[in-house]
Each structure stands twice: as C-alpha cells, then as structure tokens.
Copies of this chain bind each other. A is one copy, B any other.
Amino acid sequence: MSHNSFGHLFRVTTWGESHGPALGCVVDGCPPGIALTPADIQAFLDKRRPGQGKFVTQRQEPDEVRILSGVFEDEATGGPVTTGTPISLMIENVDQRSRDYSEIAHTFRPGHADFAYLSKYGVRDYRGGGRSSARETAARVAAGAVARKVLGEGIVIRAALVQIGPIPIDRSRWDWDETLNNGFWSPDAGIVPAWEAHLETVRKAGSSTGAIIEVEATGVPAGWGAPIYGKLDAEIAAALMSINAAKGVEIGEGFAAAALSGEDNADEMRMGNDGPTFLSNHAGGVLGGISTSQPIVARVAFKPTSSILTPRRSVDDTGADIEMRTKGRHDPCVGIRAAPVVEAMLACVLADAMLRHRGQTGERGPVWTIGSNPIHAR
C-alpha cells in the first residue's frame, strides 16, 4: 500500500475528489483473457450507490462506470476480455450540487480530516471532503468487481452488517440470503426493526452511529499469503483499515481470542476425504499469515459519521473558537453502505495473493503427500 495504490501483482490505483469532474481507478496486472463488461462492474457499483434508502444520503449519483482501456474483443466469443494491460475505469461526478462552501472552507469539522489534510499539504479541496470523501470508495468497488472476475466463481466473498450502534445481531438467526433483502446487509432479519428504531432516534437527534461489518471469503485454497510482512491477515488488516471511518479490524476470533484458552482457540483437525479438515474456525482461515482452506473471516468497525447536525466546538482559520453543525446530505451511519466496499477490498487482496502465490510456487502450488496420497494445495 502506498499513497493511492495497493497490491503487488494485482495493483489498484485510485484517484479523484468528491466534487471534481470524475473519479476512477487503474487496475494493473490483471490476468488476460477474462471476460469483462461494464455491466460486470456496474452491478457492484449499484449496490453501493447512495440514494437508496431512508438512512442513506440523498445525493443522486448514477455512478455509471466506463472502461477506458485494457479490454478487447475476444476472437472466440466476440465479447470483451481483459488483455493484461491496465484497465482504466472512470465514473463521472454528476450531482455536484452547487452550494456555498464558505463555511467549511474556513473551519475544521471535528472528526473530519480537514485539519489533518491542511497540516499535511497546506491546501485542501474542501468541497465535499475532497479526496477524503467516501465517494472514493466507488473506485474501490469497481476494482473489486474486476478482482472477483480474477478469483473466479469458486471463491465467494460476502459481507454482512453485524452491529449498528450498540445493537448486535443475533448470530443464531444468521442467514446470508437475508443480507440482500433488508437494505441493511443484515443476516438477521429479526434485528432490523431495532436498527430502524435506533437510526430514527439518531437521525432525529441530529446525531450519528457506528457499525461493524463481517466479511467472509469461501473457496480460498490453502497456501495463499506469505510470511512475514506479506501475511494475508496483515494485508487484509491494511486494506480494511484504509476504508473511510474504519477504526478496527480483526480476523477470526479477533479481540475475543485474548480471553480464550489455548484449547478453546486452536482449531483441531481430522483426516477428511480430500486431506486434513478443521473442526472449527477460530483462526478465521489464516495461520502464520497463510490461508488454510477454511473460510477467511474478518470484521471491521466503523465509527459514527462525523458530519452531524448537533453543534460541536471547533476553530476556524482566523483562530476563533466556534460552534459548528455540519449541514448537508449525510448518512447517519456510514457503515450501512460500506458492505460492498469491504467485499471489494477483500476481493482485491485475495486476487493479489492468488497471483503472487502462483508466481512463487507455480500454477498448482507444491505437491506434498499425506501417506501415499499426493496433496495439491490448489
């Protein structure tokens, strides 16, 4: 990860400000010959799009993606496939509502990056938060759609909201299908009324609330990732922590592991038909920084939206102490729309890990034996 790029072989660079003419990304190192249409990407952008519910911002952005390079008609199918050259994706900003920025141009919104950006750069694009706006995550989602194509259909990546504010889901009711039904990415239909009530309270109070998202990738073979600083969980941690408003990341049991005993935390093994199998997944699918073939499970915590209507103390650029409220269109809970972003970041990390693994160890990975049976990691 460096400035505005991440990944090593599957490498994503994003650019663009909230209220500039456009935003986008360049996906470099994508394998060739993969069918890719704008619709493949648009499907995921549509999931992330604002303007889709009562508790999300009303900014109307079609978020229509254009593929500017890196695909070409395949001789065999006639459809567009990746060529192995950089894929440039662009989304134009349409709804740059004309407004008066004079207030935020001269103040530091508490909890926002205004002061930090000015401290770093001495100048900042204050319109809609500029580069620090969550609009940048549209580019991540677009890149993630390409990453999913690289990973193929055998690897399924899906995210769920498991907590809004202080209200967690009831895990005994977990149903992945439900995440696509309720507008909250909740795997627990039963919790939705409580969340709605909480959000309504928050909204009326001019306040905001946080959330926790859980993401899972199934179908990842054993062997992806690398010691020591290229650990798969370290790369996941960086990728998820880089999302706007993220404040914590955990893998498997995560922080709860600290309170467990060694017996309870270690995942026991038994011999299965296709090699060793695990009897539990406290590790979240990663041991020693390398995937184990179990589902990869991670969680990320989002802080409450910093833009709130409740007046807060701050200063302006004359040095005066002020009270300020952040007007405008803001989600009371940024976590709600973050699920597609979390999925996308995990997809990108895994696509890169896949390419790096086969780079170092070859297409099928090493061959070793259990008894007399050869085991292919992939």
Contact = CB atoms under 8 A, between A and B. Distances in A.
A212 interface: yes
A284 B246 CA distance: 12
A4 B227 contact: yes
A95 B261 CA distance: 29
Nearest to A82: B123
A62 interface: no
Contacts of A21: 66, 68
A172 interface: no
A168 to B, nearest CB: 9
Contacts of A286: 116
Which 6 residue pairs across A and B have the least CB separation, nearest first?
Answer: A113-B288, A122-B366, A359-B359, A363-B363, A111-B266, A248-B250
Give the bracket for the number of chain A residues in contact with chain B: 35 or more
Given A3-B230, A223-B116, A228-B242, A314 B269 contact: yes
Contacts of A246: 233
Contacts of A222: 115-116, 119-120
Interface string A164-204: 01100000000000000000000000000000000000100
A234 B131 CA distance: 16
Nearest to A89: B15
Interface in A217-268: 221-231, 233-242, 246-263, 265-268
13 contacts: A1-B1, A9-B359, A13-B13, A13-B86, A15-B86, A72-B123, A207-B262, A241-B249, A248-B254, A261-B304, A262-B308, A265-B303, A269-B313
B228 A131 contact: yes
Nearest to A210: B258
Nearest to A248: B250
A98 interface: no
Interface string A298-338: 00011111111010111101111100000000000001000
Copy number in the complex reads 4
A110 B279 CA distance: 10
A11 B16 contact: no
Contact of A228 (B112, B136, B259): B136
Nearest to A244: B288
Interface string A355-378: 111111111111111110101010
Interface string A335-361: 100000000000000000001111111
A295 interface: no
Given A15-B26, A132-B227, 13 more contacts: A4-B227, A23-B68, A112-B287, A113-B289, A115-B222, A116-B290, A120-B223, A120-B361, A123-B366, A266-B308, A268-B312, A276-B315, A317-B369
